[in-house]
Amino acid sequence: MNVQPFHLSIPVKDLAKCRSFYRDVLNCKEGRSTNEWVDFDFFGHQFVLHQKDDFNPQRISNIVDGQGVPVPHFGVVLTWDDWHSLSSRLQKENTVFVIEPCIRFKGKVGEQATMFFKDPEGNALEFKAFKDINQLFAK
């Protein structure tokens, strides 16, 4: 399977604060930008923040494996080692987690490491990893 990068664009009220978060906290390389939007290399994918002063998101959650998962959310599947490195770094930086780094579906099909936290606008992000990447779409 040849996987191509996805493109995701989201609205934010405070472009400067979010730009700093994605660049400085998540270490995403900044690409093209204007005063109204900024491109990032989000772990190999194209991610764009758009300034939208009147943006007012609605936040809900859904129970998954006993935890309230924020919906909507986005993120990436990292390698097992990269996930643990990011998790450790975020914990050392006192990141406030929606769902602390943990193993979900332990001992079951689809077992994965996961963590959820929010950007400055309250957009929920999930970073996950599988010891066996073949479990990504396993039933």
Q: What is the pLDDT of residue 65?
A: 85
103 in a domain, yes or no? Answer: yes
Range of the domain at 29: 7-51
Please state the pTM of the whole predicted model. Answer: 0.89
Name which of 34, 26, 35 is nearest 123 in CA terms.
Answer: 26
Q: Is residue 97 part of a domain?
A: yes
Residue 29 inside a domain? The answer is: yes
Tens digits of pLDDT across the chain (139 residues):
678 899 999 999 999 999 999 999 999 999 999 999 999 999 999 999 999 988 887 778 899 988 888 889 999 999 999 999 999 999 999 999 999 999 999 999 999 999 999 999 999 999 999 999 988 888 8
- Residue 5's closest CA among 45, 47, 49, 48? 45
Residues 12 and 66 in one domain: no
- Does residue 123 belong to any structural domain of this protein? yes
Same domain, 93 and 113: yes
Q: Do the Cβ atoms of 54 and 100 come closer than 8 Å?
A: no
Domain CATH number, residue 12: 3.10.180.10
Give φ, ψ of 20 to 5 degrees.
-60, -40
In a domain, 90, yes or no: yes
User: Is 36 in the same domain as 83?
Assistant: no
| Domain count for the chain | 2
Shared-domain flag, residues 88 and 31? no
Inside any domain, residue 56: no
Domain assignment present for residue 1? The answer is no
Same-domain check for residues 90 and 129: yes
**Same domain assignment for residues 98 and 80:** yes
